[in-house]
Amino acid sequence: MSFINSLRTFLNGSSSHICCVAAVFCVSFVMAPNVYALDPHATLSDYYLDVWTAKEGAPSDVLAFTQTPDGWLWLGGHNGLFRFDGVRFERFVPVSGDPLPKAPITTLRAEPNGDLWIGYTSAGLSVLRQGKLTHVASSRPDSPISSATYSIVVDTDNSVWAATSLGLRHYSGGKWNIIGEEANIPPPPGTTDNVGIDRTGQLWVTNSHTVYRLARQSGKFEPVGHHGTASSLIHSPDGRYWHSAGTKLTLLANSANSSQRRRDAVTSDVGKFDRDGNFWTIDCEGAAVCLWRGVGARPGTKLGTTFVLDKNALDRPSPRSPLYGAVGLKLFEDRDANIWITTNIGIVRLRDKRIKKAPIPASKSMKIAMDGEGRAYVHAASQNVWALHNRHDSAVVAKGVDTFTASLSGDTLLAIPGYIQFGFEADARKIPLPQAEGETIPNVGSVTYDGVSMWVYIRRRVFWRYRAGRWESTWSWLAPICKPRSTAPAGVGEVWFGCRDGSAVRITGDNVTKFGPAQGLDFENASFVDARDGILVGGSDGTAILSGTRFFRIQAEDPRVLYNVVGIAKAPNGDRYLNGARGLVYVKAADWRAMTAQPTQPLRYTLIDTLDGYPGAATSLIEGMAIDSAGILWFGGSEGIASLDTKAPLRKASPLPVFVTALETPTQRYRTSDGMVLPPGSSGLRIDYTALGYTMPERIRFRYRLDDVDRDWVEAGTRRAAYYTNLGPGEHRFSVIATNEDGVWNPAPVTFSFKIEPTITQSRPFIVLCVVLSLALVYALHRMRLRRSERRIVEHMRTRQLERERIARLLHDTFLQSVQGLTYAFQGLANSLPAQSTMRGQMEKLLDMAEDVIVEGRNNVSALRAPPARDVEHDLTALAQSLAEAFPVQFSFTSTGTRRDVDPIVADELHLFAREAIFNACRHAQAGRVTVSLEYDARFVRLCVRDDGRGIDPQVLADGAPAGHWGLRGLRERAEGMGATLDIESSPGKGTLLCLRIGADMAYRVREAIKDQ
């Protein structure tokens, strides 16, 4: 017999027998607050069903299911141990401790302290504690647990009891004990099916025939007298244990009531009560699961001593359900009241819907209204009007009704053939419809009553108005203004029409006011209008509200939620519900007031959609919605009439537990631990995170941020992974925050820190070395460029000097020699004349002048050759004084720094630069004062000429020189030829400063460089 069959017993016989119920429920799981309670009146069709198969990564052959206090769902079976966050199944591998055995897992037990106990089909028993797996019993053949483990429980003294296929085992004081005949338990090979503790701390054990209770004082087990082939324990909502025998549940002796509530996080392979007293049973009536609604009591309610299950009350899955024809294996209820079933088709979750479908046949067109007593009615299929007594009960109160409505005062109006009737009573007031002689009875499409006038749309005969006791046709004057698409009363004597052209019309008595595009209404057609509390007009592409004399479109984060609105209802506390294209739009009273005060601001809302059970989609053939006196909201969708309990909490206030689960590099996946260190080169990362919400995980949204990378929170939506590339080494901190299923954000983010080790090329020494080498390379390139410039300038100077020497030789060898020859010839001629001759005297004077010319020429020739070192300061002073004699200016000269010998060629350049600068200041700038400064520095020599003249026009500085003048351009060319830097500062009326800066390599060593050439 297989493991499942060994735990399950069925009744065989006639069809009147029902599969018996058996399950184990033990202590120690305290349910979380703020959960969705199940509805004891809900049918299986009221539950939202999801299936996870192998396609979604779900493991197969799941034999155990539990939930630990941190919120994780754990699954065990033939394929190992998995944990589930509502979206992803993750195979669990311990990061430390013993390895997980390869044997299939048969049972899982979660304890309040976070321990997870694991039993297997063969030998062994393990506990997972803070991520470390420890084998309490080995998997060797000589293990104290050498067979399949069916259930585990931790006793009040922290000892462990295990029910196995070879009997009962007890682990206490670090050793295992086999519980046998000395404790009044049948010896092996007898099987112990279940072991558990009720909420009073009483220990119970069952085998296939008997229920035993442990007498704590004697240490022996006492049979309680329940025998039979199907003997099991059932855990009721109030924590007591029940014995099942066939179709009967009998309260066990000494399982007294207690104020202490305790719940189990264990699975059942037969049946169990949920927290609201509904009883679920596995693998019955040809389906994976069946439901007996409301057979148990809510926590704290007594069940009685005997309870008989009724087959006629059995709620089975419909043939369209995936559960129909499936085989159920295990049953579990999580702390959010979701029911989980492991089946042969996958893992199934059933959760209660906020929205319940009404027991009324679906209809193409529906109209909902409420009378003055707070009773809701719907006009739906077969021209019937249904009274909606509660969410599970309704009744037909009128038949053959064309349409139905209610006035603002609560009067109900029924359009029946030939009449408009006020109320449902047989003797109710009736107003005959206008009918020409010989015409058939008119068919009424809509009725609107404003307290004074009654507006009736008669198909094929358009609108009529009834007031002051008579009918009048309005089509002749109404049609040119508005072809009505919708109507609504706004007050006594006031009615609004929504028109087919998208406009709206207000009629007060005989006064008509139209609102169109100029007043903010630009819908394709105004299919909805409501005037009970403010004026709303809607169409297929939005909804507008009247503010003053103008309509404003209501703004929303998702504009589609306000498309095709077909109804609005206001709760007593001011909250509002709108029925639109994407579902119900819930708006708190404060948010509605904020929107009406500033209609251009987005409306804050909560969407209640198909995940909550919304029936299909809103259509234009649905009209109205109402909140009855019990706080039940009634509305319609394309799949029928539905209801929502507005008094039940709409939002979960409690945040969800958030975890950073894994960090993945291109080469390896890591389970996260705060402060973990990643190997060098881990620059590309995927960070997995999750939030543990199992009711509607599709609605959970996330934000994350990596410090020093993300400037602000990254909106991830429903995505549960963050991706980063090119991360550098060092410390990093990742933060993530999530909403619960109802959009409530966690108050604080969950943070996770990790470190990436640097590669060799990212290490600090390597970076320092690279910086040093880079600086050295830059310096070397700079020096190389300087030397190249120096060689170019030196070559230029050398070429220039050689040219000067060539000219000097040419002058010496030709001109001076020729002049010298002429003087010798003239001297001979003069000597031939008498000494006292006047001519000789004149010739002697001319010869003296010629001698001076020869001396001057020789001096110039010597100057053309490389001159000896010269006194720059003396030359500059002499130059300035000579120019001062020609121009009326004051001249001054200063010298700073340690005086050095300037290369003669550079001295010539400085001389020529100063000459040109001083000449320009005196002649063109009309300066009154000129200052020349010479600065010696180890790195450079700088010559500056400052004047107080009229300055230089900025455009001239930008162009380089005025038209027809070459002074500034010549100065720039001279500086460029020497490899020097020329700085010019000038502005109109504030004088000019010219500075020539020559590097030390040129200023002090050019002569030596030329000699080296």
**Pair 571, 629: CB distance under 8 Å:** no
* Residue 587, token pair as written in the block: 């708006």
Tens of pLDDT, residues 953-987: 887 777 665 655 556 777 888 788 777 888 988 88
**Candidate from 172-186, 291-305, 424-438, 504-518 with smallest mean pLDDT:** 291-305
Q: Are 815 and 857 in contact (CB under 8 A)?
A: yes
* pTM score, whole prediction: 0.72
Does position 862 have pLDDT exceeding 70, yes or no?
A: no
Cβ neighbors of 490 (< 8 A, separation 6 or more) are 450, 496, 506, 531, 532, 535
Higher pLDDT, 8 or 278: 278
283 within 8 A of 269, measured Cβ to Cβ: no
As a whole number, mean pLDDT of residues 335-362 equals 90
Q: Give the mean pLDDT of 353-377.
A: 89
Give the separation between CA 490 and CA 468, rounded to whole angstroms: 19
Which range is least confidently modeled, 271-280, 302-311, 429-438? 302-311
Closest CA to 619 of 715, 719, 528: 528
Return the closest-CA partner of residue 417 out of 382, 392, 441, 393: 441
Give residue for tokens 């539905």: 642
For residue 219, CA distances in Å to 195, 208, 780 come to 15, 22, 93
Residue 257 or residue 722, greater confidence: 722
Degrees to nearest 5, angle at CA 664 with 663 and 665: 130
- Render the burial of 433-451: b for 16+ CB within 10 Å, e for the rest: bbeeeeeeebebbbbbbbe
> Cis omega before residue 189 (within 30°)?
yes
Q: Alpha-carbon distance 553 to 600, whole Å?
A: 8
In which band, very low, low, confident or very high, does the pLDDT at 449 lie, cut at 50, 70 and 90?
very high
User: Between residues 335 and 852, which one has the greater pLDDT?
Assistant: 335
831 to 826, 827, 843, 844, 986: CA distances (angstroms)? 9, 6, 10, 9, 64
- Take residue 943 and report the two structure tokens written for it: 């010559």
> In sequence order, what E strands does 98-137 have?
105-110, 116-120, 125-129, 132-137
Neighbours of 897 (CB within 10 A): 13
Q: Give the E-state strand segments of 741-804 in sequence order.
A: 750-756
Q: What pLDDT was estimated at residue 38?
A: 53
pLDDT of residue 488: 93
* Residue 459, φ and ψ in degrees, nearest 5: -60, 135
Calculate what percentage of the chain has a pLDDT beyond 90: 41
pLDDT band of 125, cuts 50, 70, 90: very high
303 compared with 679, residue with greater pLDDT: 679
Residue 954 in 3-state DSSP? Answer: helix
Cα torsion 144, 147, 153, 158 to 10°: value is: 10
| Across 471-475, 742-746, 969-973, least confident range | 969-973
pLDDT digits (tens, 9 = 90+) for 39-62: 666 788 888 999 999 999 999 989
**DSSP letter for each residue of 890-931:** EEEEEEESS--PPPHHHHHHHHHHHHHHHHHHHHTS--SEEE
According to the model, what pLDDT value does residue 961 have?
59
Residue 720 has pLDDT above 80, yes or no: yes
Query: Which structure tokens are listed for 18?
Result: 């029902």
Residue 25 has pLDDT above 50, yes or no: no
Residues written for the chain:
1013
